[in-house]
Amino acid sequence: MPSSSLRLHSTQDHAYNDSLKKIRVMQSNETTGYNPSLKTILLTQGKKTKKAVLWFHGYTAATLQFKPLAELCFKKGYNVLVPCIPHHGFKDRLTDEVSKVRMKELVQFTDTMVDVMHGLGEEVVVGGLSMGGVMTSWVAQYRADVAIAVIIAPFLGARIIPTKMTPLVVAGTGILPDIKQWWDAEKKMDCDGPKYGYPQYSFKSLRQILKMGMKIRADARKEQPAANKVFMVINDHDESVNNELCQELVDSWKGSGAGNVQTYHFPDELGIPHDCISIEQPKGNTRVVYPTLMKMVSG
């Protein structure tokens, strides 16, 4: 997958109505097996706006994760889209869809959503958390047609896995049968936080997300990010993500000569959980997180 081919995207002017139709088709396809409250969210001013914001939710989460933040963006006068990422949003929280996430599909979905956003706004802002943060990192690396990329705690590696071991783990899990685990082995279905997400994760799917991150990191050592402005948001209290790899990506970009990358840290003493977006997180602090992200969105 040569990086040069990843930069080839349509530069034609996108009409608002065309993008609206594509989004409505997406929503109409989210029927059989889907939870109606977890479908793709579109908040529109009824016309193309100066700025449009795209939010990517996390793995095993859902669109509701970003709904309150999306509403804040909408109140600022932006058009906002929170798409239901493939294999998410199902009523059955123990669905086998949790194991079906694949890098190729994530890449295609990411690029398609960015294309659609050009019909919603003159400037496109993209942000995402965890898996959504990896998707946003992809946008930052390869999409020159994006004004701002807000990368939030991207899952480039797991905190419990030493940085140097991450590539070996990715390779090793590729030859093993899939394993599904509870996010909380004790509470299982009753784990803390939102009750709309999947309580289990799949090693096969996590591997695909990590592969996507490895591709980005490899190209970042050779090329500057294509997006006009990039924010890397690191949560120092994050219990899930390897923050060394987040910083390594920033250092690689700057080592390639990038002057458009800024890093922001939520300090450890705030005790903010990995899912710093969901208002349902008992230890969350959206009163701190949301205003910070909104400043980044505003540029």
| Per-residue pLDDT tens listing for the chain (299 residues) | 434 334 445 444 579 999 999 999 999 999 999 999 999 999 999 999 999 999 999 999 999 999 999 999 999 999 999 999 999 999 999 999 999 999 999 999 999 999 999 999 999 999 999 999 999 999 999 999 999 999 999 999 988 777 777 777 777 677 778 889 999 999 999 998 999 999 999 999 999 999 999 999 999 999 999 999 999 999 999 999 999 999 999 999 999 998 999 999 999 999 999 999 999 999 999 999 999 999 999 98
Choose among 161, 171, 146: nearest CA to 230: 146
Report the 10 Å Cβ neighbour count for 148.
23
Choose among 46, 246, 71, 225: nearest CA to 149: 225
Choose among 114, 112, 107, 106: nearest CA to 87: 106
Rounded to two decimals, what is the model's pTM?
Answer: 0.94
Find the CATH number of the domain harbouring 258: 3.40.50.1820
Number of domains the chain contains: 1
CA distance 250 to 186: 36
Q: Residue 99 is encoded by which pair of tokens?
A: 């194991």
CA distances from 87 to 10, 29, 107, 113, 212 (A): 26, 13, 14, 16, 17
Our CA angle for 202, 207, 209, nearest 5°, is 100
Contact of 114 with 257, CB cutoff 8 Å? no
Backbone angles phi, psi at 164, to 5 degrees: -70, -20
**Domain residues for 289?**
3-298
